[in-house]
Structure 1
Amino acid sequence: MKNNITRMAVCPLCGRVYHGAPALSREDNETLICPDCGTRQALQSIGVDSAEQEQIIETIHRHTQG
């Protein structure tokens, strides 16, 4: 039987409440952060600028909502 409990947490980087599985920060490999901040860190690591990071995250949200 699947557990339907939704995990809620506050991201220590952005301060937003998020649901679901956290990401592991690339900065210290210990801190659990929200999926959006995890995506930002991953994109930053390959040289994607901040404006494009936000566009990518908005696209992810549009395609995963609902």
Structure 2
Amino acid sequence: MKTEMEERICPKCGCVYTEVPALSRVDNETLICADCSTKEALESIEISKEEQEKIISIIHRSTCG
């Protein structure tokens, strides 16, 4: 069983992440971080960038600690 988390760099935002990658909705090929995946989903239902950032912040607060 693999115990180390593999570090990846998200091609959309450039951030390093270790969680399971998501498949981009844009091309259905590119692996991206969870935050960018969430943003793509929110963009698809026309949520503003400001609201997207609020939602991402809430997700981080509820999943960390």
TM-score norm. by structure 2 comes to 0.93
Counterpart residue type for residue 7 of structure 2: M
| Aligned CA-pair RMSD | 0.9
| Runs of 4 or more consecutive aligned structure 1 residues displaced over 3 Å after TM superposition | none
* CA distance in 1: counterparts of 2:57 and 2:19, whole angstroms: 18
Counterpart residue type for residue 40 of structure 2: Q
Alpha-carbon deviation of 1:7? Answer: 2.0
Aligned to 2:56: 57
How much identity, in percent, do the aligned residues show? 54
Counterpart residue type for residue 63 of structure 1: S
Aligned ranges for residues 13-52 of structure 1 at < 5 Å? 13-52=12-51
Aligned to 1:6: 5
